[in-house]
Amino acid sequence: MSCVLLDFTEGTGGSLVVPSSGVTASRVSAEQGTALRMEVASGEGPRSVALKAPEGRWDVSDYLYVALDLRNPGSEETMVSIEVNSQGADIGDNRNDVTTVLLPGESKTVKVLIVRLPLDEDSALGRYFAGSRGAVGGQYSSGMLGLPGGFTWHWNRIDPSQVTRVVVSVPFPKGGEIVEIGRVLAVGRYDPPTEDELKSGFAPFIDEFGQYRHRDWPGKVHSVDDLARAREDEEADLAVRPGPEEWNQYGGWARGPQLEATGCFYPAKHEGKWWLVDPEGRLFWSHGIDCVGLSWGSTRIKDREHYFAALPEEGSPLGEFYWGRGDERHGYGFGQANLWRKYGDDWRSIYNGRVHERLRSWGMNTIANWSSPEIYLDRRTPYVAEVHYRSRNIEGNHKLPDPFDPGFREAVRARIEERQESAGDPWCIGYFVDNELNWQRGIGAAVLVAKAPPDQAAKQELLKDLRAKYGTVDALNAAWGTRHASWDGFLECREETRAEKAHDDLAAFFDRMTETYFRVCREEVKAAAPNALYLGCRIHHEHPRVLQLAAEYCDVLSVNCYRYDVRMLRLPEDIDVPVVIGEWHFGALDRGPLHPGLRHVQDQSERAVLYKSYLRSALSHPLVVGTHWFQYGDQATTGRGDGENCQVGFVDVCDTPYPETVQACREVGYAMYEHRLGSD
């Protein structure tokens, strides 16, 4: 199913084509008729062409994708970004986008998934898929259905009935790039089940292996025999490709430069780039993967039993994979059940060994965050450990701890002490403390402190700072434009402060609060494990001031970078510290789960293309010392505990690796040390 939205035959397209500076646009003959030729000059910033809807808007509500026919007639590989804009969406930024790489002479159709407004939770489809972030029929939900308050997960979405333009850009122009645009299309049927279909014939829609029943795809498991064949095929593949020959036991570069061997991991700058150095003194670049364990493919079944075609009977061998409290069957682990089917009664030990074999064979050398100690304590692959704890947060922000609270340091210390199995372990690279804290924009966290309750430790510290600076509350009132009757009145006040007048004081306190957080975390990591690296808190919004302050305390600064290229990562210019990317991924809707994740691509072949491109951009970045893909296994088709049901794994719910992604990983991973040492 497709529809031509715009072509460039004579008489069409003229005033609808708007090139940016540094771009020349002209019509040329192409394989499928006339194309728009986009020639790019060198210079700073992206170079683009905007293609406007002829009647002011396109209605693509019946389609899954907006697509473009693209060709690279040049002699150099070219990265191209496509952005679809709309008007009228009341949330988000009216933008869907995708990035691709065009090889010299390559032609292909590139599809941009239409990320729609959230499902109406009162609709039949919304009620049916409550608790999932992606539903069937191409509905890419921007939030978790069923959560009160309209929880938003994805920031890019459009109104498909109000699409106004498509923008094609070369994001990192060197000059001389040429891109030919053939047609703008709407493709793929958006066809979610109707209310009548949901009531009859649709359920159960999950098969005995945890897969979606109403669609087939390459590699889908239809029987236990398929699992056995997949195991045999992979064992043969691993035997032929055991891993890079030039790596040492840690995955460091045995044939590369010899640095000081300290018996533990440490960062070092070598020939203008940051690296990690392994315990044997060899250069090490952390190519890893998150969530290496047993939790993938696990999902809630309570109140959703009708979703599933063949849940096992009580007392059967597969019954052990139910989970819940007492006799209540709350959920089921399809991933673990499939491992038992595939490897037999000794599946745990066989699977644990298989994981290490896979990572080495795939060109990976790190078991990254949220992984199972049962696997990483085999000490066959270097690993990182995470520290999560419970302490009081800043009032109004459930993801930002109060670093002045007396319980904060104690909570961090107690949790690190529980991880003593990794303290002093040469295979342990270091510790992440927390994950994706909400620092808010600007000084927003300090503004919250100023209106926090009087027993908030951070507010009491803010009061001390203000008393020391102003002496009297009258002086504070004059500076801030407030009317506090006393210092106690300030402490009791729950109204929001006018940040423009209080800005400098709140900015100073924001710095103090942030520094205190990172300092305390560092001190506790070093007290418990002096040789382990403090890796920070995996910052996911590029808050410049937080990044600057964190860089002063972290051995390696961690960021989660869901972009199409690491050159899109925005770091303050004055930072010169090692950086590890704690999360990134690409997913598609062509196989398995119903949601493509935070960065989508059109299919598995395109995922492989972007994997190689992203990883090479990271290897070329002088600060980046590693990337950790999120995550090892696909999420359950019906969602994990918080509803995420994304096709982002290296393996599917049946433990079958995605061959395209594995091959891409090997192509770059096996040569990553030579690439990093020799790249600009």
Instruction: Give the closest residue to 224 by CA, choosing from 206, 203, 205, 207.
Output: 207
How many other β-carbons are positioned within 10 Å of the β-carbon of residue 14? Answer: 9
User: What number is the average pLDDT over the span 661-665?
Assistant: 98
pLDDT the model gives residue 91? 55
pLDDT the model gives residue 294? 87
Q: DSSP class of residue 634?
A: P
Is the CB of residue 585 less than 8 Å from the CB of residue 598?
A: yes
One-letter amino acid for residue 476 of the chain: L
Token representation of residue 103:
């090889």
Confidence check: pLDDT of 432 > 70: yes
pLDDT digit string (tens) for 563-595? 999 999 999 999 999 999 999 999 999 999 988
In three-state secondary structure terms, 198 is helix
The CA distance from 179 to 35, in Å, is 10
pLDDT digit string (tens) for 57-113? 999 999 999 999 999 999 999 999 999 999 875 555 788 999 999 999 999 999 999
User: What number is the average pLDDT over the span 145-173?
Assistant: 71
Q: DSSP class of residue 168?
A: E
Calculate what percentage of the chain has a pLDDT beyond 90. 81
pLDDT the model gives residue 262? 98
pLDDT: which is higher, 485 or 120: 485
The DSSP result for 223-285, as a single string, is: SHHHHHHHHHHHHHHHHH----TTB-TTS-BTTS-B----SS-EEEEETTEEEEE-TTSBEE-
Confidence check: pLDDT of 45 > 90: no
Is the CB of residue 448 less than 8 Å from the CB of residue 395?
A: yes
> Which whole-number Å values give the CA distances from 670 to 363, 579, 679, in the listed order?
5, 21, 15
pLDDT digit string (tens) for 238-267? 999 999 999 999 999 999 999 999 999 999
- Rg, the chain, Cα only: 27
One-letter amino acid for residue 518 of the chain: F
The CA distance from 283 to 98, in Å, is 34
- Burial of 292-314, coded b for 16+ CB within 10 Å and e otherwise, reads bbbbbbbbbbeebeebbeebeee
Burial of 152 (0-12, 13-18, 19+ CB in 10 A): middle
The CA distance from 294 to 333, in Å, is 9
Confidence check: pLDDT of 147 > 50: no
The CA distance from 130 to 302, in Å, is 12
Are 2-115+156-199 and 236-298+344-438+514-678 the same fold in CATH?
no
In three-state secondary structure terms, 537 is coil
pLDDT the model gives residue 153? 47
**Cα 651 → chain centroid:** 17
The CA distance from 86 to 257, in Å, is 52
Confidence check: pLDDT of 144 > 50: no
pLDDT: which is higher, 65 or 131: 65
Confidence check: pLDDT of 130 > 90: no
Domains of the chain by residue range: 2-115+156-199, 236-298+344-438+514-678, 446-512
Mean pLDDT over the full length of the chain: 92
CB-based contacts of 328: which residues, under 8 Å, 6+ apart?
Answer: 302
Architecture of domain 236-298+344-438+514-678: Alpha-Beta Barrel (3.20)
Confidence check: pLDDT of 146 > 50: no
Q: DSSP class of residue 193?
A: P
pLDDT digit string (tens) for 359-409? 999 999 999 999 999 999 999 999 999 999 999 999 999 999 999 999 999
Token representation of residue 623:
């600060």
Write the CATH number of the domain with boundaries 2-115+156-199: 2.60.120.430
Token representation of residue 666:
């090997």
pLDDT: which is higher, 419 or 471: 471
pLDDT the model gives residue 138? 61
Least confident of 192-196, 464-468, 482-486, 628-632: 192-196
pLDDT the model gives residue 197? 87
Confidence check: pLDDT of 306 > 60: yes
User: What number is the average pLDDT over the span 312-326?
Assistant: 90
pLDDT digit string (tens) for 511-558? 999 999 999 999 999 999 999 999 999 999 889 999 999 999 999 999
What band does 12 get if pLDDT is binned at 50, 70 and 90?
Answer: low
**Cα 202 → chain centroid:** 31
pLDDT the model gives residue 569? 95
pLDDT the model gives residue 139? 57
pLDDT digit string (tens) for 20-42? 999 999 998 876 678 999 999 98
The CA distance from 641 to 549, in Å, is 34
Which ranges of 54-98 would DSSP assign to H, the alpha helix? none
Residues in the chain: 680
Burial of 149 (0-12, 13-18, 19+ CB in 10 A): exposed
Calculate what percentage of the chain has a pLDDT beyond 70. 95
The DSSP result for 409-465, as a single string, is: HHHHHHHHHTTTTTTT-TTEEEEEESSS----STTHHHHHHHTS-TT-HHHHHHHHH
Per the listing, tokens 């403090």 go with: 534
